[in-house]
Amino acid sequence: MTVYRNSEKMKELRVSVKQKGWIDDDSEDLHLYRLPDGKYTVASGNHRIFLSHQIDIQKINAMVSLLIPESYIPENIKAKIKDYEDKEKTYQIEVEKIRESLEALGEIRKNVKDEFTYKNFCNLRDEMYNKRQYLLLKLAKFLNLVPHEATE
């Protein structure tokens, strides 16, 4: 951690905290992984972690991703996840094609049918992503990988 102590980014963060105080509005500034053993590791935001320890901040907001070892995932769940991923990719390809078509029209995007189709493919893509996330969260809860306070 001594690498951060005198880095330019750390200096900027210290100045910002000194001028504005500790601002902890955006949990995405700090991204943690929760490991199967219940411990956390930093994915991004090392400087914020380091500084929060130095100035004795007890609690900060973070985005937390659960890590589930592949060996914990049953084959039927893996198949569902793959199906959702494949559909999500297919829908994303359609989204990009239609987006390019609409952007080519510029300000005269009057083709309501293409706009409607674009929004539908965006919704389908997002639905596949959400289904995959929900399935993984359900599995993580079943495996007791989710902290108790997060299940409430």
Is residue 17 within 8 Å of residue 9, measured between CB atoms?
no
- CA gyration radius, the chain: 21
28-37 residue pLDDT tens: 678 889 999 9
pLDDT band at 6 (very low <50, low <70, confident <90, very high): low
Tell me how far apart the alpha carbons of residues 150 and 141 are, in angstroms, rounded to a whole number.
10
Cβ neighbours of 34 (radius 10 Å): 19
Tell me how far apart the alpha carbons of residues 117 and 98 are, in angstroms, rounded to a whole number.
8
103-113 residue pLDDT tens: 877 666 566 77
Which pTM does this prediction carry? 0.70
51-88 residue pLDDT tens: 888 888 888 888 888 999 999 999 999 999 999 999 99
